[in-house]
A and B are shown apart, each in its own frame.
Chain A
Amino acid sequence: MTRALRFGLVAIAVAALITFPYWSAGWESSRFATTVLRDVLVFAIFALSLDLLIGRAGMPSLGHAAFFGAGAYAAGIASQRLGTDQLPITMGAAILVATALALIIGALVVRSEGIFFLMLTLALAQIVFAIAFQWTSVTGGSNGLSGVGRPVIGGLDLTAADRMYVLVAVVFIAVALLLSRIVGSPYGRALVGVRENERRMRALGYDTTRLRLSAFVLAGAIAGVAGALSAYSLRFVSAQDVGIATSVRGFVMVLIGGAGSLFGPVLGAAVVMYIERVLSSAIPVAETVLGLVFVAFVLLARQGIVGVGLAAWARVRR
């Protein structure tokens, strides 16, 4: 496939994704599909950010929801307390708070590895959850934060469902492009080096602690963006956004789709959201199905859907 052809196909796919609410308008279920796809993309951003840690840097975080939730609360609280829905302000608040929190938690966890890293991230995220749950005057506690405003950019109001969708789709594309760029950069290569052999990386002259911390903070900031988009989309922030269920959901998305590939986490987000949102109304045991699917992938296909697909493709070509 030539470069031009590939670029053309990607451009068409991107355009189709962004304009989905318009060309699907004739469908009976267009509104529902747009909502589901919007939420898939929000979680795809979240899963992509988590995969930078799991799939690239080899840092399996079970507390990534802390940054998603921090972004969601920051955007929601900024919108309510500052009385403005200007996107740069509320989104800026989300990124700022998520980044700061990732710096604090990151500084505490980046020196640990494997199962210890997993448990530490989980424990610290639970502390964040406890704060969100109990600091009722700021976060709304167990009631959550309702009535979050949809964003505006200058005079452009994004309240309408189709516009909200377009915002999410555009941010998703931007994040995907950014991450694909990062993965191929000297920085992305260095993260893989840290994952594969941190000792050798140190002996080569890499400050591996700083590399791991920077990846953790970068992933946290992007998760904060996803959180803000979730708050705008649902007009609501729940303590669950910071909770373990959200962390696990991101983890499952990455593993089902395939860690270490940009397409995998996106596919994983789609599969999980489809089971949760579409299948759950058709069959009563959808959550169980999700659990079984996850177990099946952990036992039989560690590389996720993308890994299985690549292996099958390699076999066909041979």
Chain B
Amino acid sequence: MGEGAALIEIRDLVRTFGGVRALDGVSIAVAAGERRAVIGPNGAGKTTLINVITGEIPPTAGVVRIAGEDVTMLRPWQRARKGLARMYQRNELFPPLAARDNVALALAVKAGPYRPLERVPSTQPRAADALLERVGLAGREGIPARELSHGERRQLELAVALAQAPRVLLLDEPTAGMSPAETARITELIASLDRGLTMLIVEHDMDVVFRLADRIAVLHEGRVIADGPAADVRGDVRVNEVYLGKAVATA
């Protein structure tokens, strides 16, 4: 599997909720610079997988490694410090704060928050504005997050994650709840990000998946039933049966 090169590696991950095995022995390795999609029907365990990787949900069994380091016992904030950033499926922003200040909080974490007597660096607003421009929110810097449209909040969600200067970006349904036009825009935005940035993308929209992913893992009932280059997975008969459906199979 080439573990040495994997930036994110999960091994034999199990997570049960009551009697339900949401993750049932999942192993996935994502190499540095790779863009990996994880697809699967609703309830396949995709969001659980992201939450276990970030540490928001502890696994019942198994190991999570970042750049070879076992982080299974680390808390979410410690994993974030190791270079993990995430775009939530349902926006997790700071509603009353201006878009700029949402991004600024992500920028400020590097220098550390325990500076009660220091002033906020004067370069911070400009750095935040540059990121907002990058995601297409130029001119919206001073608007509180709660007053942005849903599509704009998704863009802000991405800007906040990028502000962490992550090594790995976890995207949990980046196009959730978006119109086709908004979906196309954010897909191109993500596609245009630095090729060196490793991504793990959970997504329903297959056009988005095939546009963004180098490799695809297919999750079904908590197990990986296929894992390989995007083109191969597309042709995989079993994948078509459980997930992609006839439309793609005949395409």
Q: Is B181 an interface position by the 8 A CB rule?
A: no
| Contact status A205-B77, CB under 8 Å | yes
Q: Is A2 an interface position by the 8 A CB rule?
A: no
Q: Is A203 an interface position by the 8 A CB rule?
A: yes
Q: Is A190 an interface position by the 8 A CB rule?
A: yes
Stretch at the interface among B33-41, B105-113, B190-198, B237-245: B105-113
Q: Is B76 an interface position by the 8 A CB rule?
A: yes
| Cα–Cα distance between A117 and B224 once the two chains are bound (Å) | 42
| Contact status B96-A196, CB under 8 Å | yes
Q: Given A196-B94, A203-B54, A205-B77, does the pair A190, B108 have CB atoms closer than 8 Å? A: yes
| Contact status A184-B120, CB under 8 Å | yes
* Complex contacts, B106 vs chain A, CB 8 Å: 204
Minimum CB–CB distance from A300 to chain B (whole Å) comes to 21
Minimum CB–CB distance from B122 to chain A (whole Å) comes to 13
User: B119 touches which one: A184, A190, A192, A196 (CB < 8 A)?
Assistant: A184
Q: Given A181-B116, A204-B164, A206-B113, does the pair A189, B105 have CB atoms closer than 8 Å? A: yes
Q: How many residues of B contact A (CB 8 A)?
A: 35
Q: Given A186-B108, A197-B93, A197-B94, does the pair A202, B120 have CB atoms closer than 8 Å? A: no
Q: Is A207 an interface position by the 8 A CB rule?
A: yes
Q: Given A190-B105, A193-B105, A204-B105, does the pair A182, B117 have CB atoms closer than 8 Å? A: yes
Q: Given A202-B75, A202-B80, does the pair A186, B93 have CB atoms closer than 8 Å? A: no
Q: Is A200 an interface position by the 8 A CB rule?
A: yes
| Contact status A199-B104, CB under 8 Å | no
| Contact status B95-A182, CB under 8 Å | no
* Complex contacts, B95 vs chain A, CB 8 Å: 196-197
Chain B interface (Cβ < 8 Å from any Cβ of A):
54, 56, 75-78, 80-81, 85-86, 88, 92-97, 101, 104-106, 108-109, 111-120, 160, 164
Chain A interface (Cβ < 8 Å from any Cβ of B):
181-182, 184-190, 192-193, 196-197, 199-208, 211, 214, 218
Please list 12 pairs of residues, one from A and one from B, whose beta carbons are closer than 8 Å in the complex, sorted by A's number.
A181-B117, A185-B116, A185-B119, A186-B113, A187-B113, A196-B97, A199-B92, A200-B88, A202-B75, A203-B77, A204-B106, A204-B109
